[in-house]
């Protein structure tokens, strides 16, 4: 099963649319004074280093760095940008969902270093994820990326960025001026958040119990609702006080959505992902599953089209038939995905 918080977020989005040998662990920095040390991951072919970075408001954020056990010299690295929900990127219980399966297998099978981070209030990180806005979250990811230079076994000229779900859309903002050999947005988005949510609401409203007229009426109402919410920056609760006729349409909190505050999504709407991806000159592998009910084909394909428009043939589009948002097919992680990703990375390194 999914961890509880991630299950709640994904359920909301979908219903309302939207190892034989253990490795040694090396700890860097100081343990969190607020939370007990959790059960740790174990890998056959990698060791884990536990470290810290901070965002600008002073939250201490736990980072997870893995190093291949038998590596000599500098190795390539995969920096992993996480999802929307307030769940840890540490998978001490193993492959409990598809995102975890992807990360754990890349760590043990790639021969590369990897870097992950728990956002504010998640795991051992201080702060409150449920109140964290996007800009503060982004600062954390940027600080974690900046920290790569601390590790003498990471080849800074051979770093790839894997973005999962929401994290894939804004992943170029994480690396900023640092050189990146390739981006891998997976189950992700590349348009405005307003467009993304309207499409999700149409999908959610569509059902055998509703007529086409009822669906269209609902979407028309949400068109105005999300304009007030995302663009005019009014909370859902304030909107419903002014428009009580929409109360039956809204399904989430008065001050936020999917476990995050309203300002988080208003800041997502502020992003110009067209401009962000136009500036990406590195190769890009866009991964999408045809059974994804969280991000649509249009969400993912926008990245592919944008990159290739400004840098022809730099983007590759990989669509997996019947794969869902969490990278599973018929309830099972799509095993061929890791080899496909590693083959693409090796091809970029060979250039």
pLDDT in tens, the chain (351 residues): 444 444 434 444 443 333 333 333 332 333 334 556 678 999 999 999 999 999 999 999 999 999 999 888 999 999 999 999 999 999 999 999 999 999 999 999 999 999 999 999 999 999 999 999 999 999 999 999 999 999 999 999 999 999 999 999 999 999 999 999 999 999 999 999 999 999 999 999 998 899 999 999 999 999 999 999 999 999 999 999 999 999 999 999 999 999 999 999 999 999 999 999 999 999 999 999 999 999 999 999 999 999 999 999 999 999 999 999 999 999 999 999 999 999 999 999 999
Angle at 337 between CA 6 and CA 87, to 5 degrees: 15
Q: Are 130 and 121 in contact (CB under 8 A)?
A: yes
Compute the distance between CA of residue 136 and CA of residue 35 in angstroms, rounded to an integer.
Answer: 21
Q: Is the dihedral of CA 15, 262, 161, 119 positive or negative?
A: negative
At 263 the pLDDT is 98
> Within a 10 A sphere around the Cβ of 70, how many other Cβ atoms?
8
At 103 the pLDDT is 98
- Dihedral pair phi/psi, residue 339, rounded to 5°: -60, -35
At 34 the pLDDT is 52
Residues ≥6 apart with Cβ < 8 Å to 294: 10, 13, 14, 17, 18, 165, 187, 200, 325
Angle at 15 between CA 234 and CA 188, to 5 degrees: 75
- Dihedral pair phi/psi, residue 235, rounded to 5°: -70, 155
At 36 the pLDDT is 62
CATH number, domain 4-192+272-350, options 1.10.10.10, 3.10.580.10, 3.30.110.30, 3.40.50.1820: 3.40.50.1820
The ranges of the chain annotated as CATH 3.40.50.1820 are 4-192+272-350
Tokens of 233: 């920056």
Q: Strand 182-186 and strand 256-257: pairing?
A: unpaired
> Can you tell me which residue has the tokens 């059960």?
39
At 38 the pLDDT is 74
């Amino acid at each position: 099963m999914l961890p509880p918080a991630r299950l709640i977020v994904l359920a909301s989005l979908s219903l309302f649319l939207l190892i034989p040998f253990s490795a040694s662990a090396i700890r860097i920095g100081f343990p969190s004074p607020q939370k007990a040390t959790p059960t740790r991951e174990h890998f056959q072919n990698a060791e884990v280093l536990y470290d810290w970075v901070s965002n600008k408001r002073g939250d201490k954020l736990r980072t997870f760095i893995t190093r291949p056990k038998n590596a000599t010299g500098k190795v390539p690295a995969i920096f992993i940008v996480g999802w929307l929900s307030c769940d840890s990127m540490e998978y001490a219980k193993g492959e409990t969902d598809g995102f975890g399966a992807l990360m754990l297998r890349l760590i043990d099978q790639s021969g590369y270093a990897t870097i992950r981070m728990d956002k504010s209030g998640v795991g051992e990180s201080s702060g409150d994820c449920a109140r964290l806005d996007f800009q503060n979250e982004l600062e954390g990811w940027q600080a974690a990326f900046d920290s790569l230079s601390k590790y003498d076994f990471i080849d800074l000229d051979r770093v790839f960025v894997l973005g999962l779900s929401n994290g894939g859309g804004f992943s170029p903002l994480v690396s900023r001026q640092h050189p990146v050999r390739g981006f891998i947005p997976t189950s992700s988005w590349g348009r405005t958040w307003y467009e993304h949510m309207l499409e999700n609401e149409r999908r959610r409203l569509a059902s055998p119990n509703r007529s086409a007229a009822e669906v269209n009426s609902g979407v028309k109402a949400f068109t105005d609702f999300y304009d007030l919410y995302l663009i005019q920056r009014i909370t859902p609760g304030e909107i419903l006080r002014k428009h009580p006729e929409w109360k039956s349409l809204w399904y989430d909190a008065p001050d936020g959505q999917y476990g995050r505050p309203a300002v988080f999504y208003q800041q997502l709407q502020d992003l110009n992902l067209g401009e962000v991806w136009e500036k990406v000159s590195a190769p890009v592998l866009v991964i999408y599953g045809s059974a994804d009910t969280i991000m649509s084909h249009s969400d993912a394909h926008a990245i592919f089209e944008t990159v290739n428009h400004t840098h022809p043939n730099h983007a590759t589009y990989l669509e997996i038939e019947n794969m869902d948002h969490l990278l599973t097919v018929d309830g099972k992680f799509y095993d061929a995905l890791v080899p496909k990703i590693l083959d693409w990375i090796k091809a970029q390194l060979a250039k």
